Structure 1
Amino acid sequence: MRTVRGVKAIVEYLASVNCPMGKSTVDKLIRTKEIPHMRFSERVIVFNLDKIDEWLKGADNQSESDQQKLG
């Protein structure tokens, strides 16, 4: 399992896979439980990169679906 720890690390990973997001956006996604993550304590958040990749693919599929509806 590929994992990274912390918001800064996931922001860097997202940028590396051509999906740049700011820290505040990631914080909001964590708060609303829209991004897959595991919280081990108040200050320790771990992201499973395999689940993040699946989550991103789901977001890509959603945007393609939205474009088809508009098309």
Structure 2
Amino acid sequence: MRKVRGVQALVDYLESINCPIGQSTIYGLMRTDSIPFNRPAPRVLLFDLDDIDSWLGGELNEH
């Protein structure tokens, strides 16, 4: 599993694959549970890049 910690790391990854999505958009997607993420602690956000790739491809409907 490929994981990144934090929204900025996810933004950087998305830019690297030519799919720029801003931080505010990602936070909005998180509020509506529209993007796969884990919050193992109150101030820690983890994103599994394999899940993100599937989500971008339209394969995931829920996280």
Superposition RMSD in Å = 1.2
Greater relative CO, 1 or 2 (CA 8 Å, sep 6+)? 2
Match of 2:56 in 1: 56
d(CA) in 2 for partners of 1:21 and 1:9?
12
Report the equivalent of 1:29.
Answer: 29
Q: List alignment gaps of at least 5 residues for structure 2.
A: none
TM value normalised by structure 1: 0.78
Q: Hey, which bits of structure 1, 4+ residues long, moved more than 2 A? A: none
The structure with the greater share of residues assigned to helix is: 1
Give me the whole-angstrom Cα distance separating, in 1, the residues matched to 2:46 and 2:7.
Answer: 8
1:10 is aligned to: 10
The corresponding residue for 1:43 is 43
Higher alpha-carbon Rg: 1
Post-superposition Cα deviations, 1:38-57, rounded to whole Å, max 9, x if no partner, equal: 01122101000000000001
Q: Which residue identity is paired with 1:28?
A: G
Query: What amino acid does structure 2 have at the position aligned with 1:19?
Result: C
Letter in 2 for 1:2: R
- TM-score scaled to structure 2, two decimals? 0.88
